[in-house]
Chain A
């Protein structure tokens, strides 16, 4: 009973921490909107050249762009969420304090990152999306059930995103310096999540591969659920399988890592 309240409090803390920086949030909204405009024009040109690319019409391609900008910070697609803090704590040894706490390490950071995600969604994601909907033709569903399914897909996407970055953060137990790993998170995240181009539009075998990797659960699945391009239950299953696999791997790695911790001076 108590633990539910604990993790809710941690999530609320994560939410409030990011909510503190209002000017930075406004700046993020501006930047995401600017990039959205640039991308929309390129996508419109691309779909002009090849209508129905990846099974999308123009309005759906436009929707995909603005959803991508909306979820860019929310899902920390190029990294930059909790994992930077966790890596720093591992490097400095502060992780020892975390391990003493009567809370589960993985759940603690998951709660904190979900709090951050929710703030980024509301504070940073909604405005560019609404801007896109006002100024460009978008394909948005009218039924409440579709939006509800989208919300579920989004929540699962947050967990998948966390799972990937948790594994990356734990690597600091062995590597100490997180620079290279952060870079890898960034490159793989940008390429495989479909922020550059919808994964549906990737050619041939490359397309078949990227569509089954965990990153497909981040942007592609919620987008397809929102636009009714896929069966929601199938999308949920795909995301849930990856979420569970990644969390389990994180747990395994965590137990291996914590056996290695040697606190300074001990």
Chain B
């Protein structure tokens, strides 16, 4: 009961704070449109890279362009949503440095909601749009014998993927409470994570794939379920049910990230000066 109350209160606070930032960014409309277009172009650069590669070859790691676009679209869209909701977390480090984090702690609103909605940037819709466009093209051009299960797996992957990436963002925020200046480490897991998932698992070394399957389970964002949809062999010879594990993996990630966040908050000491 109490937990649920906190959750609802947090969501409400998130909505209010995000709404405030949206209104503020809409004050300069031209600037907003330009930055959003820029965001779309910038995030599209990864895909341009893939297209450039495919201007030279017909397959990469044994995967065709539509298949890789399928991976890319899933990874970029799921990451884009997580980035929209929680991507502002990387300002946490500077908030801790300048002491303004204390202000957030004394407000009667869950800190996570405040930090997530801090500097909420609608321009991040650029990444989601770009990811969704690639995904749309991939779904249209990829050769798959669709059945109801495979069709359902697509939205399931997007939702679970978003949750997994969100958990990574939250864990990264908890890490920043300890590390402060070292906020950039987080980028290796968030931006690095979405980048590596844009390529097929066959490209990477076996130990590397093991790491992103069992240690940081990014493989469940798209690799494993997408292998089922495309009728390809699973990475690491995972069992058949692994394709349906993403919701469970997402749940575990959330629990762990939540614990990390609580531990981080508990050990917070103010700047002291």
Closest Cβ of chain B: how far from A116's Cβ, in Å? 16
1/0 per residue, CB under 8 A from B, across A156-183: the answer is 0000000000000000000001011001
Q: Is A50 an interface residue (CB 8 A)?
A: yes
Contact with A along B197-222 (1 / 0, CB 8 A): 00100111100100000000000000
Contact residues in B for A42 (Cβ distance below 8 Å):
53, 60, 199, 203
Residues of B within 8 A of A (CB): 31, 34-35, 38-39, 41-42, 45-46, 48-49, 52-53, 55-61, 179-185, 187-189, 192, 195-196, 199, 202-205, 208
Given A196-B52, A197-B52: A179 and B57 interface contact (C-beta under 8 Å): no
Are B42 and A187 in contact (CB-based, < 8 A)? yes
User: Which of chain A's residues has its CB closest to B181's CB?
Assistant: A23
Residues of chain B within 8 A of A50, CB atoms compared: 56-57
The 10 closest A-B pairs by CB, nearest first: A34-B188, A183-B38, A23-B181, A27-B182, A27-B184, A196-B49, A49-B57, A45-B203, A203-B55, A31-B188
State A27–B188 Cα separation when bound (angstroms). Answer: 9
Interface size class of A (residues with CB under 8 A): 35 or more
B182 touches A26 (CB 8 A): yes
Is A197's CB under 8 angstroms from B53's CB? Answer: yes
Would you call A184 an interface residue if the criterion is a C-beta within 8 Å of the partner chain's C-beta atoms? yes
Q: How far is the CB of B75 from chain A (nearest CB, A)?
A: 12
Known contacts A41-B199, A41-B203, A41-B204; decide if A196 and B184 are in contact (CB<8 Å): no
- Residue pair B185, A27 in contact (C-beta under 8 Å): yes
Q: Are A45 and B60 CB-contacts (below 8 A) given A34-B192, A187-B42, A197-B53?
A: yes
Q: Chain B's interface: helix, strand, loop or mixed, by majority?
A: helix
Does A180 contact B31, Cβ atoms closer than 8 Å? Answer: yes
- Known A-B contacts A45-B60, A49-B57, A180-B35; the reply to A187 vs B181 at CB < 8 A is no
Give chain A nearest CB distance to B72 CB in angstroms. Answer: 12
Determine whether A12 belongs to the interface, using a CB cutoff of 8 Å to chain B: no
A203 to B183: give the CA distance in the assembly, Å.
Answer: 37
Q: How far is the CB of A10 from chain B (nearest CB, A)?
A: 24
B212 smallest CB distance to A (angstroms): 10
The answer to whether B38 touches A23, judged by C-beta atoms less than 8 angstroms apart, is no
Residue A21 CB within 8 A of the other chain = yes
What is the bound-complex CA distance between A26 and B181, given in angstroms?
9
Extra 8 A-B pairs, beta carbons < 8 Å, given A42-B53, A190-B42, A196-B45: A30-B185, A41-B203, A49-B58, A49-B59, A177-B31, A197-B49, A201-B52, A203-B55
Contact partner, B184, options A28, A44, A201, Cβ 8 Å: A28
Quote the shortest CB–CB distance from B135 to chain A (angstroms): 20
Asked if A240 CB lies within 8 Å of chain B CBs, one says no
- B45:A35 contact, CB within 8 angstroms: no
Contact A46–B53 (Cβ < 8 Å): yes
B183 contacts A38, C-beta separation under 8 Å: no
- Cβ–Cβ contact A24 & B52, under 8 A: no
